[in-house]
A and B are shown apart, each in its own frame.
Chain A
Amino acid sequence: EVQLVQSGAEVKKPGESLKISCKGSGYSFTSYWIGWVRQMPGKGLEWMGIIYPGDSDTRYSPSFQGQVTISADKSISTAYLQWSSLKASDTAMYYCVRLPGYSGYDYLDYWGQGTLVTVSS
Chain B
Amino acid sequence: EIVMTQSPATLSVSPGERATLSCRASQSVSSNLAWYQQKPGQAPRLLIYGASTRATGIPARFSGSGSGTEFTLTISSLQSEDFAVYYCQQYNNWPPATFGQGTKVEIK
Contacts and interface: CB of A to CB of B under 8 A. Distances in A.
A108 B43 contact: no
A109 B50 CA distance: 12
Chain B's interface size range is 20 to 34
B99 A45 contact: yes
Interface in A37-84: 44-49, 59-63
B83 interface: no
A29 interface: no
Interface string B82-102: 000001010110111111111
Contacts of A108: 34, 36, 44, 46, 89
A62 B94 contact: no
Interface string B17-61: 000000000000000101010000001111001100001000000
Contact of A47 (B32, B45, B92, B98): B98
Contacts of A105: 32, 91-92, 94, 97
Nearest to B46: A109
Contacts of A107: 34, 46, 49-50, 89, 91
Secondary structure class of chain A's binding surface, majority of residues: loop
B103 to A, nearest CB: 10
A48 B96 CA distance: 7
Contacts of B45: 111
B46 A47 contact: no
Given A45-B87, A60-B95, A111 B43 contact: yes
B1 interface: yes
A85 to B, nearest CB: 22
Interface of B: 1, 32, 34, 36, 43-46, 49-50, 55, 87, 89, 91-92, 94-102
